[in-house]
Structure 1
Amino acid sequence: MSTDRIVIDQAKIRISDEIAARIKPGSEFPRSLAWWQRIVPCWLTATEDEGGHIVLTPSGRDAAGSVYELTPVITRREIRYGLDWLTRWNGNNVDFTDALS
């Protein structure tokens, strides 16, 4: 896994049976880049690579709108925080284990 980005293969995201039973048609994964851009925390930027994977990278911004320098140490920390956010996202009902690279 890269230390400067999180790559998500949406085809490999698994959702719990509880969520799957309540999901509306058309709301399954994969979801659009615009959806990802709305949902990711402000300190991450969502883009799409040539293979259609979602790529999360540190943005260098915080919730107050401040901009900070992305040193290698801060970048690695932001990636770690991003991975933590994904594992806790939606009350652990969405499993990204096989989807991340």
Structure 2
Amino acid sequence: MKTWWFLGVAIAAEVLATSALKYSAGFTRLLPSLVVFGGYATAFYFLALTLKTIPVGVAYAIWSGAGVVLIALIAWLVFDQRLDWPAVVGMALIVSGVVVMNVFSQSVPH
């Protein structure tokens, strides 16, 4: 159970860091740049802890899939980025894939 918490922290840190990239203005602003570096360091540290238990392919699929969807939602809500139907359908497919892996795959520890 602790492993899934680690993966959740890795995802949250990566989403925070990626969101801060926009505010860093090409790493010309100090505080957002520090958030980017700290967020990615935290994300990779917790992803590494996750990989002690969850296979790398499964962990990375969940980490990147959740990150893509969350970043797209943040871009829509915070940065006013438009999401058209193909984008929404694509994100739904990503979420569906993560659910299928977690519910039906024997590769994922339960």
TM-score range, shorter chain: 0.3 to 0.5
**TM-score, normalised on structure 2?**
0.32
Greater helix percent: which structure? 2
Bigger Rg over Cα? 2
**TM-score, normalised on structure 1?**
0.34
Larger relative contact order (CA 8 Å, sep ≥ 6): 1
